[in-house]
A and B are shown apart, each in its own frame.
Chain A
Amino acid sequence: QAVVTQEPSFSVSPGGTVTITCGLSSGSVSTNNYPSWYQQTPGQAPRTLIDSTNTRSSGVPDRFSGSILGNKAALTITGAQADDESDYYCVLHMGSGISVFGGGTKLTVL
């Protein structure tokens, strides 16, 4: 089974910009993998941020954006705020209805 890779951790200053990526251990991520992104804070269920590469879910601030950068999917937070400190996960569609989550990225805002 393919492995979906993410940076284990990132740190960003308040007001700064950070890009978290989502790659494949072998091959490139494309829109055909329909990458989606989730935010999870401790003790809470995940919250959907982005679906189908770049569509923001209802109520998600526009400082969150999704894209394909090179051979990876990317989640960019522009103007990070303290309450963006969370774990972030991507998930990729691998065909035949099967999806795989990335390992998650722990974002610190300080």
Chain B
Amino acid sequence: EVQLVQSGAEVKKPGDSLKISCKASGYFFTSYWIAWVRQMPGKGLEWMGIVYPGDSDTRYSPAFQGQVTISADKSISTAYLQWSSLKASDTAMYYCARRPGNNWFDPWGQGTLVTVSS
């Protein structure tokens, strides 16, 4: 079974750094892109970017370029989303999802809730 399991909820202060993870199983991790999607409280889905674990190629939405870093460690089949300095506006649920084809995402991780508050 193809599965993505994300790390647990985080509570951080503004200015903190953070790295959340998405562990894949059930398929060849290096063969498929992994995407990250943000959902702010009560809002819609926002595509942040993708990483290809085979060669670490990454693409970012212009809205998120420079704001986050997406990476992958193929030795442990895990993708990451990280911030160097969190803001309150980063408070959101973050989902990872595999991209099996040109533009669709499945399966999805269960989500990681990030709360940034002083």
Which residues of A are interface residues toward B (Cβ below 8 A)? 1, 33-36, 38, 40, 45-48, 51-52, 57, 87, 89, 91-93, 96-104
Contacts and interface: CB of A to CB of B under 8 A. Distances in A.
A98 B62 CA distance: 9
B84 interface: no
Contacts of A102: 44
Given A96-B59, A97-B50, A100-B61, A36 B105 contact: yes
A80 B63 CA distance: 36
Given A46-B108, A52-B102, A38 B45 contact: yes
Nearest to B93: A45
B34 interface: no
Given A1-B61, A52-B102, A100-B61, A46 B47 contact: no
A35 to B, nearest CB: 7
Contacts of B33: 97
Interface of B: 33, 35, 37, 44-47, 50, 59-63, 95, 97, 101-111
B103 A92 contact: yes
A48 B105 contact: yes
A1 B105 contact: no
Contacts of B50: 97, 99
A1 to B, nearest CB: 5
Contact of B103 (A34, A45, A47, A57): A34
A46 B45 contact: yes
Given A38-B45, A52-B104, 11 more contacts: A33-B103, A46-B37, A46-B95, A51-B106, A52-B103, A57-B106, A91-B47, A97-B59, A99-B35, A99-B47, A101-B47
A99 B103 contact: yes
6 contacts: A1-B61, A36-B103, A47-B108, A48-B106, A99-B35, A103-B44
Given A1-B62, A45-B111, A100 B47 contact: yes
Contacts of B35: 99
